[in-house]
Structure 1
Amino acid sequence: MTTNVQQTSAAAYASLEDLGERQTAVRNAISAMGAACNAKIAKYLVVPINQVTGRVFELRDKGLVKEAYKAIWPATGRTVIWWETV
């Protein structure tokens, strides 16, 4: 049986096996929330934001998360990127 899977989808799926514990937690958090900014992910996981930002960057480089949109984060009043899983 042949399936029509995009090459990028196959690569992203394969890279799921290479994720570390924190990367997996961040990806799962984004997936559970639908879309989230780094601060929201940190709050959800109850970890400092510096444990999230690098993992989001790594997940983005692996093609596992992408920018969903930009919006104001009420706590700071600044525009931030909201991420979603691919």
Structure 2
Amino acid sequence: MAVMPQTNVQQTSAVAYASLEDLGERQAAVRNAISSLGAACNQKIADYLGVPVNQVTGRVFELRDKGLVREAYKAVWLPTGRNVIWWETV
């Protein structure tokens, strides 16, 4: 992990920022998609990236573990009528 310079930034923010350097290509694409979309569920992210949803769900889980995304809210995904988690970047 990179050494962070001394700033007035929260420690958790500094750790999350440092972990951006450790992202794989697919993780970075998923994080950028969430950032661009505002808040998005896994299927919306997959549609945005043009990939199957199973290529997104694991990356969202990894990003959540790194503290780079968090649950924004739960809402119905209209195409399926199911209640899903909508993610946002931290």
Query: Normalised by the size of structure 2, how large is the TM-score?
Result: 0.92
1:74 aligns with 2:78: yes
1:60 aligns with 2:60: no
Aligned match of 1:84: 88
Aligned match of 2:3: none
Q: How far did 1:3 drift?
A: 2.9
CA distance in 2, matches of 1:78, 1:42: 16
**Residue aligned with 1:17, SS:** helix
Residue from 42, 45, 58 that aligns with 1:38? 42
CA distance in 2, matches of 1:66, 1:36: 11
Residue from 16, 19, 22 that aligns with 2:26? 22
Residue from 6, 9, 19 that aligns with 2:13? 9
Structure 1 stretches lacking a partner, 5+ long: none
Query: Residue type of the partner of 1:70?
Result: K
Cα RMSD for the two superposed structures: 0.7
Per-residue CA deviation, residues 62-85 of structure 1 (Å, 9 max, x unaligned), is 000000000000111010000000
**Count of aligned residue pairs for this structure pair:** 85
Query: Residue type of the partner of 2:22?
Result: D
Structure 2 stretches lacking a partner, 5+ long: 1-5
Query: Residue type of the partner of 2:71?
Result: E
**Residue aligned with 2:29, SS:** helix
Instruction: Tell me the percent identity.
Output: 84
